Amino acid sequence: MEEAGTETLTKLELQIMQVIWKLGPSNVAGVQAGLEQELAYTTVQTMLNILERKGKLKRKLKGRAFVYSATVTEAIASGSAVRDLINRMFGGSSEELVMSLIKTRQIDAEKIVELTKRLEEEGGGQ
């Protein structure tokens, strides 16, 4: 079993987590209202319970309703998704990911230079 926060989220799980990250602790109705797409209350409730079982959320009974809050940050979840993508699509090579971005014109060499400078300014360069 994977450590909490390292398992990749499905598209719907991610949408629900984004509502929680944006709104903070929320009940089912709050999450349902925060979603862009219309989903049945029971569907949202089921998804919240799945995320809680996966360790992405914790829940606390407040009155008669559970309030769900995130146990993983958006940064941890996105880092996990990027690692998963690199492992599955690029054989674990982040260099191959960058080359693919350049080859498909999703990013150009000038942008990479700009990002490298920004990283060094923030103290993240090695």
- Tell the residue number behind the tokens 């920004």, with chain if given: 118
Q: Which domains are delineated in the chain?
A: 1-92 (1.10.10.10), 94-126 (no CATH)
Residue type, 15: Q
Average pLDDT value for residue range 5-10? 71
Statement: the pTM of the whole predicted model exceeds 0.85: no
Interval 80-90: pLDDT, tens = 889 989 999 99
Average pLDDT value for residue range 55-71? 96
Q: What does the pLDDT read at residue 4?
A: 46
Distance CA 107, CA 18 (A): 26
pLDDT band for 2, please (50, 70, 90 cuts): very low
47 secondary structure, DSSP code? H
Average pLDDT value for residue range 52-69? 95
Q: What does the pLDDT read at residue 108?
A: 86
Interval 12-51: pLDDT, tens = 999 999 999 999 999 999 999 999 999 999 999 999 999 9
Question: Is-contact 53 22, C-beta < 8 A?
Answer: no
The contacts of residue 67 (CB under 8 Å, 6+ apart) are 25, 26, 27, 59, 60, 61
